[in-house]
Amino acid sequence: MLKFSMGVFIFLVMMVCGLSAFISKHKHLLNALLGLEFMMLSVFGMISVNVTGMGMEVYFVMFFLVLVACEGALGLSLLVSIVRSHGNDYFSSLGVLSC
């Protein structure tokens, strides 16, 4: 039981680190996207530890991993389109009405 709770604690620390990276003020959009991906990786780890600890099927974990990969691809495609239209990914150059 100690190993199970230590694994969940490690993933909670990862979640807090990803949340702090997402909330902190960055100049670039890529840093915010990396913070989101780190949070999704910690959620994936928590789900996989809980599912394997209970002896359940791992199909839900694989479905979640596919959704996280699609979210990452969508974020990167938006980043590429913003860089092509604005020339950079600085938050200061992005206006609410221009994007």
Q: Domain residues of the chain, as ranges?
A: 2-93
Asked if residue 34 lies in contact with residue 89, where contact means CB atoms within 8 angstroms, the answer is no
Give the residue-averaged pLDDT of 79-90. Answer: 82
Q: How far apart are CA 46 and CA 65, in angstroms?
A: 12
Give the residue-averaged pLDDT of 75-92. Answer: 82
pLDDT category at 90 given cuts 50, 70, 90 is: confident
Cβ count near 59 (within 10 Å):
9
pLDDT category at 52 given cuts 50, 70, 90 is: confident
The CATH fold assigned to 2-93 is: Helix Hairpins (1.10.287)
The pLDDT of residue 1: 47
